[in-house]
Amino acid sequence: MSAGRSIPGWAVGMSIVGSYISSISFIANPGKAYQGNWNAFVLAVTMPLAAWISVKYFVPFYRRSGQLSAYEHFEVRFGPWARTYGVVCFLLTQFARLGMILYLLALALAPLIGLEVSTIIIISGIAITIYPLFGGTEGVIWTGVVQSCVLVAGVALCGLAVVMQISGGLPELFQVAVANHKFSLGDMDLGVTQSTFWVMVLFGLVTHLQNFGIDQGYIQRYATAKSDEDAARSVWMGGLCFIPLSAAFFFIGTALFVLYQQRPSDLPPNIKSDAVFPHFIGSQLPPGVMGLVLAAIFSAAMDSNLNCCATLYLCDIHRRYIHPDAGEKESMRVLHYSTLIMGMLSICAALAMVGRQRNALDVWWKLSGIFSGGLLGLFLLGLLSRRANSRHAAIAVSAGVIVIVWMTVTPMASGYLSSQGLGWFVSPFNDNLIIVVGALTILLIGLTASRLAERQTREVRIDPLPESVIDQELST
């Protein structure tokens, strides 16, 4: 689970890069830029601030505790329910993430190898289950190193291949892109209904802090580093490398927009934005380059996090509720079986996404906001307030879940609610703010509840009797 805390910082950092650049980034980011602009790139712009906060506070916290589970301290701070809540939220988020990764991988490969999307999902799902099953966390780390190298090479070749096919090259690319506002980072107003620049700043900051603060996949990675300095270096390396790689994906999407503006007949009618990049790979790249790019897409899908899910099941469920005295042999058996089961659940999640029409990046961001359940708010509540207890945290989490459900469900039922005169009840917030508002609700409600409880205690406190009265009573 921790690879003997023997992994060098550079390897952990490259593994973090590979974790950030999944097939969600490889396929969905170019699709997002092709369809719109660079608004989603703001997510990467917020990374340096999040990395600094994480290195200063989160990494030392987990390295000192020596905990392999990101949620053990939830129980210490708020009780068993909080630990279980954290584990359930993480597992739901990972099933959605792995399902999206497998779905996008299959979407990219289906037109190239002639198999059905569902068939590719099953085959690739088995593949990403096998190597963490046998290699554990150490296998995941070193696979991530190779994965990052192949990713960089594949992205560089793709960008070069697209630009070389644009008539007029880079000057024409920038001219057309600027004329169509493709490099825009979003509106600068302070509204909350659209994905503005500031909405994406909040979304990016909370997402990165949640990744480095409470995401088992990242915490278990920097727990494997040889020293605290290596762990901090890995976070900086992973965070800073994410920015240029993310820019490269958006650049490819913009370049594809310009290319197919010049050659619209090369694009099938009614093609989804997420399928444009795979179409280019299959129809425009020479075989050797196509092979490397396919390897890059496959490597992007190899970050399964199934070992982290298995670790949580063993530490937070099996040893906590089923068999606290589980030995090494039983623990290994549980890790193996839980890895297999969670791999199967991820395949099922991917199959459920087949045929969806929305942009995959939007779907993933919404699902991650819903399933994360405002965990960052609960983590910060325990970290920032000594007054908050289990009851205050439970009140805060209940309020946070209600807000998340309201922000998720009411927009989907807006037509019905408006027809019933309840249009005012529909959430006005953009989907990207679900994770932000959920975390803030839990943090603020928890702080408020703890302060009110302290004030009530102070008001009902009985003042001590004067010493003269005590002396008189004793003498009597």
Q: Which domains does the chain have, with CATH numbers?
A: 3-357 (1.20.1730.10), 383-460 (no CATH)
Residue 373, sorted as left (phi over 0), alpha (psi -120 to 50) or beta, turns out to be: left
pLDDT for residue 474:
58
**Nearest alpha-carbon partner for 213 in 446, 374, 26:** 374
In 263-327, alpha helices (H):
273-284, 287-301, 306-312
Asked if residues 15 and 145 have their Cβ atoms less than 8 Å apart, the reply is: yes
Asked if residues 120 and 370 have their Cβ atoms less than 8 Å apart, the reply is: no
Asked if residues 303 and 19 have their Cβ atoms less than 8 Å apart, the reply is: yes
Identify the burial level of 297 via C-beta atoms within 10 angstroms of its C-beta, where 0-12 means exposed, 13-18 middle and 19 or more buried.
Answer: buried
Q: How many CB atoms lie within 10 A of CB 420?
A: 10
**Torsion angle of C-alpha atoms 241, 247, 248, 254, degrees rounded to 10:** 170
Asked if residues 364 and 98 have their Cβ atoms less than 8 Å apart, the reply is: no
Identify the burial level of 192 via C-beta atoms within 10 angstroms of its C-beta, where 0-12 means exposed, 13-18 middle and 19 or more buried.
Answer: middle
**Nearest alpha-carbon partner for 24 in 95, 100, 90:** 100
Q: Tell me how far apart the alpha carbons of residues 392 and 444 are, in angstroms, rounded to a whole number.
A: 11
Q: Tell me how far apart the alpha carbons of residues 382 and 415 are, in angstroms, rounded to a whole number.
A: 40
Whole-model pTM: value is 0.78
pLDDT for residue 472:
64
The dihedral built from the CA positions of residue 63, 67, 72 and 73, taken in this order, carries a sign that is: negative
Q: Tell me how far apart the alpha carbons of residues 420 and 160 are, in angstroms, rounded to a whole number.
A: 54
Question: Taking the chain, what is the end-to-end CA distance rounded to the nearest angstrom?
Answer: 69
**Nearest alpha-carbon partner for 54 in 241, 219, 203:** 219
Structure tokens at 340: 């297999």
Q: Tell me how far apart the alpha carbons of residues 402 and 207 are, in angstroms, rounded to a whole number.
A: 20
pLDDT for residue 444:
92
pLDDT for residue 201:
92
The residue type found at 188 is M
pLDDT for residue 358:
58
Asked if residues 235 and 242 have their Cβ atoms less than 8 Å apart, the reply is: no
SS3 breakdown of the chain: % helix, strand, coil, rounded to 5? 80, 0, 20
DSSP for 124-151, please give it: HHHHHHHHHHHHHHHHHHHHHHHHHHHH
**Torsion angle of C-alpha atoms 328, 332, 337, 340, degrees rounded to 10:** 160
Asked if residues 271 and 31 have their Cβ atoms less than 8 Å apart, the reply is: no
Per-residue pLDDT in tens (0 to 9) along the chain, 476 residues: 555 566 766 677 777 776 677 667 777 788 889 888 999 899 889 989 988 988 888 888 877 766 656 677 788 888 888 888 888 888 888 888 888 888 888 877 887 778 888 898 898 888 888 877 776 666 666 676 777 777 778 788 888 888 888 888 889 999 999 999 999 998 888 888 888 999 999 988 988 888 887 777 777 777 777 777 888 888 888 788 888 888 998 999 999 999 998 888 888 887 888 788 888 887 888 877 788 777 777 776 666 677 778 888 888 888 888 888 888 888 888 888 888 888 888 888 888 877 665 556 667 667 777 777 678 888 888 888 888 888 899 999 999 889 988 888 888 888 888 888 888 888 888 888 888 998 899 999 999 988 887 676 665 555 555 666 556 655 65
The dihedral built from the CA positions of residue 187, 192, 197 and 200, taken in this order, carries a sign that is: negative
pLDDT for residue 476:
58
